[in-house]
Structure formats: C-alpha cells, structure tokens
Amino acid sequence: MEVLYEICAGLDVHARSVVACLVRQGHKTIRTFGTMTEDLLQLLEWLKAQGCTHVAIESTGVYWKPVFNILEGSMEVMLVNARHVKAVKGKKTDVKDCEWLADLLRHGLLKKSFIPKPSIRALRELTRYRESLVRQQTAIGNRIVKLAESGNIKIAQVASRPLGVSGRAILQQLALGQADTEKLASLAVGRLKEKHDQLQKAVVGRLTQTQRWVLRELLARLDEVQGALSRVDEQIERQVAEDPDPFVPKAAELIDTIPGIAQSIAQTIISEIGTEMAAFPSDAHLASWAGICPGNDESAGKRRNTRVNAANRYLKAALCEAAWAASHTKNTYLAAQYCRLARRIGKKKALVAVGHSILVIVYHVLSRRTPYQELGGNYFQRQNADAHKNRLIRKLEALGLRVTVEKAA
C-alpha cells in the first residue's frame, strides 16, 4: 500500500494521558505524556524534533481540544471520527489504538473532520453558552408557573405570557405577601388591563410561607439568568463585529435574509459551520454533516430506517426553530413547503425537511455571497400549473358546475 507520509504520528487521548505512536520510515516509537499544559508542550517539542509533519487525533469527548490547540499551527493536525477508525475487536489497548491511528494516517486512509478557524470556535463557545442559558431560563420559568399552580394562582390561565411584565410584577408582589386582589390586578399593563376582573379571581390562592420563599428565589434566579443572557448577547454581537474576517458580519446579514432566521439563529449557524463553504464539497455533504437529512439504510431493495443521524444538536435545534418560524410566514416558499409536507408526513418530519432546505439555502447564500431570493408561496403551483388547474376543474365539476377556463390578459 502506498505510503503518503513518511513521518507521522497517531495520538490516543484520555483525560490524564496521551499515548503517542510516531512512525518514522516504518519504525514505530511509543511514548506516553500527561495532559497538563507542560506535558503537552513536551509532546509538541518531541514531535517537532522528530520531524513529524502530520498528526491524527481521535475525537474523544472534549479531551482532544487542548491537544489540538497546542499542536495546531506547528504541523498538520487531523481530527478523525471515532466511528471511522474502529479497529478489529480483541486485545484492545491504548498502545494498539495509537498504532492503528498512525498506520491509517501513514497510508492516507483517514477522513479529516471539519474544524472551523479559531475566531469561529470562539464564537461557538459564546453561542453554545447562550443556548444553555436559554434552557435554564425556560426551566426556571416552567418551575415558577408550576409553583404558582400548586398554590392555586391561575395567572397562566388568564395571561398568555405569565412571565411577561404584568405577570412578573404580580408574582413578585405575591412572593412578598401581598393579598389585596385589587392592587394585584391593577399591576397589569397593556392589553391585560382588559382582563381586570379575571385577574382578580386568578390571584386568589393559598400560597404558603415556604412557597412564597421559593417563589422569591426563583424570580431572583430568573433575573440572574436574563441578565447573563443580555451580557452574552452583547458579547456575541461584539465578537461578530470585531472578527478578523470582514465577511463574518456580512454573512450574518445575508443569512438573516432567509425567512424564519433571526439574528441569534444566524449567529448560531455561523458559529457551527463557519463562513467558508470550501470545507463541504456540496450542500448534501453539509446536510449530512449536520445530521439534518434522512438516513440511508437499505437492504435487499428495501429501505428500513430513514431517521436523521445524531450529529450537531446545536445546529439542528437552530434550524428546526428557524423552520417553525418560517412555517408561519406569509407567501413564502418555505411556508408552502411545510404545508405541502405536513399533510403527508406529519408536522415534525415536515419541520426537519424545512430545516434541511434552510441549511441548503444557507450553503448557497454563503458560497455565492448573495442574499436569498424568495421564490414565492405559489412556487409549487407554478411548477405544476396544468396539473393544479385540472385538479381544481375536477373539483368544481364534481359539484355539478360547468367550467370554462380562459387565460388572463
């Protein structure tokens, strides 16, 4: 078998140790290093002293990240998917793992994983932190509503947003022990003022002292999380505006032209896939990498499983959120696609399909660096105009009507 790299290495990374196998003209050298920064710098110096040009690392949790960051820039570092480098079972050891990685790398049998540039990786840290804060905010909000219900406070049945401005003010006073229903109902603002009488009935409950104390703690925790969300939003906007690549702010604006995508989702998409689409040969490769396309499991001419594979959950969640927003837009291609598919395959699968379409659009928007061009809500009808016309004529004739069709001027 042809040898592509004469001097290369395979690294088996763990929480406390890194086992390295250096292959130099067919001769293998095995060494074990710690995972402290000083130990990783010694690993780097040893590889450079040996003239190593390429290194393969198996993606193991988050343990590969510090090793990758230290070796990056000094040599070609290849991060590989663990599923792609499985050796034959039996007599598995750390030494055998790193030897197997080195052998595969030496003969060019490894597929490189996509790793964005450092500035995009920094943005990814911020957007993923924001996503965790949003989850915390949702969990705390649900807990507050549940606690209020347990005390028979029925704000959620009167206000569509029980934790809006009015709901927060009422809950805050209830937590402080306020029992005057007239004063509590008068805290409503906006359209909720019209439900004054209903609010008076809704705030009559039986909150115990313990429940009031827990409610105060939950409201304080909600304020902390919302403050952290505001700060991270400001930092993300600053990170995008100050990115070394001048195309990053422009890319966020281009992606924002797609229906259903808000600024926060555009930032998340950029942080996960970057702005340079050269890493993906086609939009199909990008969709497969993101885990937003149907699986391919066929045997004896029968398709068995078409579930999407488990891949980038942050990107999939953002795309499905964008698909849900796009499905509620007026006279757009994505809304028409959702309505067309939901009748046949169900709402959840239709959302995944629309999310796939959004990712394909993002790929071409970033590749061509042009805004999204809307196709219109009647796109599918225009594609099959004659069939659509005949179907409507048959429906009218079934009602006993005689139909004559003339083309408009």
Distance, CA of 101 to CA of 225 (rounded, Å): 44
Residues 6+ apart with CB under 8 A from 60: 13, 14, 82
Residues 6+ apart with CB under 8 A from 152: 204, 205, 206
Asked if residues 372 and 257 have their Cβ atoms less than 8 Å apart, the reply is yes
pLDDT one-digit tens code per residue, 87-110: 656 667 888 889 989 999 998 888
* 135's tokens: 């989850």
Per-residue pLDDT of the chain (409 residues; tens, 9 = 90+): 688 899 999 999 999 999 999 999 889 999 999 999 999 999 999 999 999 999 999 888 889 999 999 999 999 999 998 877 776 566 678 888 899 899 999 988 888 889 999 999 999 999 999 999 999 999 999 999 999 999 999 998 999 899 999 999 999 999 999 888 899 999 999 889 889 899 999 999 889 999 999 999 999 999 999 999 999 999 999 999 999 999 999 999 999 999 999 999 999 999 999 999 998 999 999 999 999 887 777 777 787 777 787 788 999 999 999 999 999 999 999 999 999 999 999 999 999 999 999 999 999 999 999 999 999 988 888 888 888 888 888 998 899 888 888 887 7
Distance, CA of 373 to CA of 33 (rounded, Å): 54
Element (H, E) at 298: strand 297-299
Distance, CA of 374 to CA of 341 (rounded, Å): 19
* 314's tokens: 């942050």
Residues 6+ apart with CB under 8 A from 205: 148, 151, 152, 153, 154, 174
pLDDT of residue 354: 96
pLDDT one-digit tens code per residue, 178-187: 888 899 999 9
Element (H, E) at 17: strand 17-24
pLDDT of residue 88: 57
Asked if residues 93 and 17 have their Cβ atoms less than 8 Å apart, the reply is no
Distance, CA of 362 to CA of 365 (rounded, Å): 5
CA 289 to chain centre: 12
pLDDT of residue 89: 64
Distance, CA of 19 to CA of 35 (rounded, Å): 10
pLDDT of residue 272: 95
Strand segments (E) across 166-273: none
Place of tokens 């100050």: 242
237 — phi, psi (to 5°)? -60, -40
* 227's tokens: 């403050």
DSSP designation for 18 = E
Residues 6+ apart with CB under 8 A from 150: 211
Distance, CA of 103 to CA of 110 (rounded, Å): 10
Bridge-based pairing of strands 27-34 and 54-58 is: unpaired
DSSP designation for 123 = H
Distance, CA of 8 to CA of 52 (rounded, Å): 5
pLDDT of residue 91: 64
Bridge-based pairing of strands 17-24 and 7-13 is: antiparallel
Residues 6+ apart with CB under 8 A from 25: 6, 7
pTM for the structure as a whole: 0.86
Put the strands of the sheet holding 76-80 in their side by side order: 27-34, 17-24, 7-13, 54-58, 76-80
Residues 6+ apart with CB under 8 A from 73: none
pLDDT of residue 112: 87
Distance, CA of 399 to CA of 336 (rounded, Å): 27
* 257's tokens: 């032209």
Sign of CA dihedral 168, 318, 57, 49: negative
Distance, CA of 314 to CA of 135 (rounded, Å): 12
Distance, CA of 37 to CA of 409 (rounded, Å): 76
pLDDT of residue 87: 63
